[in-house]
Amino acid sequence: MAITSLSTSSLVSGVKRRRVWDQTATTDGFFQIATTTLNVAASSITFSNIPQDYTHLHIRGIARSTTAASSVNTILRFNSDTGANYASHYLTGNGSSGISGNETSSTYIYTGAVIASTSLANSFEACAINILDYSNTNKFKTVATLSGWDANGSGITGLWSGHWRSTSSVTSIILLPNQNNFAQYSSFALYGIKG
């Protein structure tokens, strides 16, 4: 039997509520899940036991690396999978030229370039990471990131995309710099999007 959606919508306190055909009330929107802010430097940040009842995930963060360099890359893995099941593409600008590249059969997804310890003090990279259909078990998982930092004379901005060749639902996410640690005050927040 085909089911036709009989929905009505209303706006209550800024949150869209939808009553679907069986009168089950659902709430669409952008929801807080978890936040980690580092009081001391740490090698990674992990979100685990991620609820499976959202459509997409969104991570917003600021980060800095303790590595003695101007910047290093940030990387992401799902479900503790360290196999060569990932790939990435990127388009970045460094203040003088645009650069595009890719990495295939890698053990991580690139999610941006993070400012490091020889660059301007107290300055952090900012990133917004989207993870689409993370709980869908019929698809490989796609990640899209907008990220950048500037240090008054140096900086990188750009887009990064990646995929994980797995149909497993994403239940945990680890973010880490590809060298050394995230610095104190690095902070990442995980959100869920419904609707």
Q: Site residues (CB under 8 A) for other proteins?
A: 14-15, 27, 29-37, 51, 60-62, 91-98, 100, 120, 122-128, 146-159, 185, 187, 189-192
Q: Which is nearer to other proteins, 67 or 92 (CB)?
A: 92
Q: Which is nearer to other proteins, 9 or 96 (CB)?
A: 96
Q: Which is nearer to other proteins, 54 or 164 (CB)?
A: 54
**Tokens 């907008």 — which residue?**
146
Contact between residue 70 and residue 95 where contact means Cβ atoms under 8 Å apart: no
Q: How far is the CB of 64 from other proteins (least distance, A)?
A: 8
What does R_g of the chain's alpha carbons equal in angstroms? 19
Q: How far is the CB of 80 from other proteins (least distance, A)?
A: 22
How far lies 38's CA from each of 44, 47, 50, 66, 150, in Å? 10, 14, 20, 13, 21
Residue 160 forms beta bridges with which residues? 90, 145
Q: Which is nearer to other proteins, 108 or 160 (CB)?
A: 160
The number of residues making up the chain comes to 195
Q: How far is the CB of 108 from other proteins (least distance, A)?
A: 22
Q: How far is the CB of 165 from other proteins (least distance, A)?
A: 27
Q: Which is nearer to other proteins, 42 or 146 (CB)?
A: 146
Largest CA distance in the chain: 64
Residue 127 forms beta bridges with which residues? 61, 147
Q: How far is the CB of 160 from other proteins (least distance, A)?
A: 11
